[in-house]
Amino acid sequence: MADWTERFSLAGRMALITGASDGIGAEIARVYADAGASLIISGRDASKLSVVEEQIRDSGAECRSLVSPLETAEGASMLAEEALRFAGTIDILVNSAGVALINPATELSIEDWDLTMAVNLRAPFILAKMLAPGMIQQRWGKIINISSQTGVIALADHAAYASSKGGLNALTKSLMAEWARHNIQVNAICPTVVLTPMGEEIWSPEEKRRPFIENTPLGRFGQPVEIADLALYLASPAAELVNGSTIMIDGGYSSV
């Protein structure tokens, strides 16, 4: 049996990570680079994306950045096409890009609803659909969807976001059912509030933050590296029996 470093190694693998300009996606990219992967990272902010790319290259890993407008079907398709043109085959897909437009349902615009579904649900489907044939051909692949605890439990003012993440969880299971026989693992990570720039902005009001933390047995929010470490496990050979799972990483919130 290989030692534990080999079981958790991503050496020789090519990963595409969306939403890698900052936050969870950027942290996953850095952790994957440390584990030996080559990377294609995408995001909407070219300047932030270039900083992450430079950090990864300075660490000695191969990295290419692609600016991608995932709010359109064409943008998601173009990202997949460019990634395949550059790499030939993508071994690991991490769908980390997302938008969180938090409003009471009665105040939620149809435009915000449609944007949320486009980025959080349609784009992961398009990318998985277009990258899966290469994974099927080589009989190895990992697809990791960054979902949310709100895809499993209810939170007020999250109608669009929660619906998109619940759909992403269902998509995870459906793709697993189709592709498991090809040795492809498809899993979703469902974090609590994570202290990314987006998480800080949404949850900065004390009257909103305090009750949530008080209802979390661990008594705190998450850090991006904690999500990245789980994403590393799921991308590694160590997790080949884990398939179709929606893994809660929420300090116990959903268990009480």
Higher pLDDT residue, 70 or 209?
70
Domains of the chain: 4-194+225-243 (3.40.50.720)
Cβ proximity of 101 and 112 under 8 Å: yes
What's the distance, CA 32 to chain centroid? Answer: 13
Predicted pLDDT at 204: 84
Predicted pLDDT at 14: 98
**32 catalytically annotated:** no
Predicted pLDDT at 8: 96
Q: How many CB atoms lie within 10 A of CB 52?
A: 25
Report residue 43 as tokens: 């995001």
Predicted pLDDT at 175: 98
Report residue 187 as tokens: 């899993």
Rounded Cα gap, residues 167 and 170, in angstroms:
5
Average pLDDT, the chain: 96
Concatenating the DSSP letter of every residue in 199-211 gives HHHHH-SHHHHHH
Cα dihedral across residues 34, 39, 41, 47: positive or negative: positive
Q: What's the pLDDT tens digit per position in 132-162?
A: 999 999 999 999 999 999 999 988 999 999 9
Rounded Cα gap, residues 164 and 175, in angstroms:
16
Residue of 32, 161, 233, 253 with catalytic role: 161
Q: What's the pLDDT tens digit per position in 27-63?
A: 999 999 999 999 999 999 999 999 999 999 999 999 9
Using 50, 70 and 90 to split pLDDT, how confident is the model at 197?
confident
pLDDT of 2 above 70: no
Q: What's the pLDDT tens digit per position in 101-139?
A: 999 999 999 999 999 999 999 999 999 999 999 999 999
Percent pLDDT > 90 in the chain is 92
Rounded Cα gap, residues 31 and 8, in angstroms:
11
Helices 123-138 and 159-179, interaxial angle, to 10°? 20
Rounded Cα gap, residues 181 and 159, in angstroms:
35
pLDDT of 98 above 70: yes
Name the one residue in this structure whose structure tokens are 């890009």. Answer: 97
Cβ proximity of 124 and 96 under 8 Å: no
pLDDT of 226 above 60: yes
